[in-house]
Amino acid sequence: MQYYLLNTAICEILVSASTFLAQCRPVANKTTLAVFCYGPCKHFGPNTCFFMFALVQASVVAASFSILLSFYYRYRLLQVHVKNARSHKKTIAIFSLLPTSMLGLLLQTMVPFVVYIPPFTYVLVSQFTGHSSLYAEYLLNTLGSFTAFINPLLTFYYVLPYRRALCKRVFKYFPSVSEEGTDITTYPAAANFHRGNTAITKV
């Protein structure tokens, strides 16, 4: 699973870096699509800007398909865990986590479609009508890198190990998990308390 997440992270880093270096502003009309680059790539010539624009498009497509691939892999992984569950308690525990996991995966999958459909719609409308909007031209550059910002937040929230690691490092308040159950506590991690001071929830 970590390889799929690493692949997605690399693609999203490429999206962010290429978007920053290019900072493209597409201007569409009925016959052509002009692309103006205002990023650092403009100091290296038009060929570099064209390469960065192509890299933006390729990394955006790769990031979208990487998210879909990780979605399918995690879905298949949950199915395998359910088939291999030997006890009734494990099966109940897995199914109790399915709604939250599926919601997070669904949001991660829908974000690229919500973000990338408006740019293509704008280009098509501009080519048919011959009119363009200045706000939309500058907004498209921001929408292209929006998934690189929102996907890590969704992963940290819906993937429990990442959420615990984030809380451990940033907030210093995190629930600890043992084989007997989940110890839910809001005390700092550095403090030492007896077993009776925490509430134990068994699945």
| Structure confidence at residue 99 (pLDDT) | 59
Please check whether residue 59 is in contact with residue 42, taking contact to mean a CB–CB distance below 8 angstroms: no
Asked if residue 191 belongs to a domain, the reply is: no
**What is the model's pLDDT at position 196?**
46
Provide the residue range defining the domain that includes 129.
2-158
Residue 124: HSE in the Cβ half-sphere, 13 Å Cα cutoff: 5
What pLDDT score was predicted for residue 183?
43
Residue 141 falls inside a structural domain: yes
Domain presence at residue 174: no
Quote the tokens at residue 58: 């390729």
pLDDT of residue 109: 66
Number of H helices, E strands in the chain: 6, 5
Beta strands of the chain (E only): which ranges? Answer: 24-28, 33-37, 176-177, 182-184, 199-201
CATH code: domain of residue 59: 1.20.950
**pLDDT at 83 (0 to 100):** 56
- Let me know if residue 201 belongs to a domain: no
**Does 165 reside within a domain?**
no
**Alpha carbon distances (Å) from 122 to 118, 130, 139:** 6, 11, 11
In a domain, 91, yes or no: yes
| Distances from the Cα of 155 to the Cα of 85, 110, 151, 165, angstroms | 25, 14, 6, 12
Domains held by the chain: number = 1
Residuewise pLDDT in 10s, the chain (203 residues): 566 677 777 888 888 888 888 888 888 777 777 888 888 988 888 888 889 888 888 888 887 777 777 767 766 766 665 555 554 455 445 445 555 556 666 676 677 677 777 777 777 777 777 777 777 777 777 776 777 777 777 777 766 666 777 777 776 654 544 434 444 444 444 444 444 444 444 44
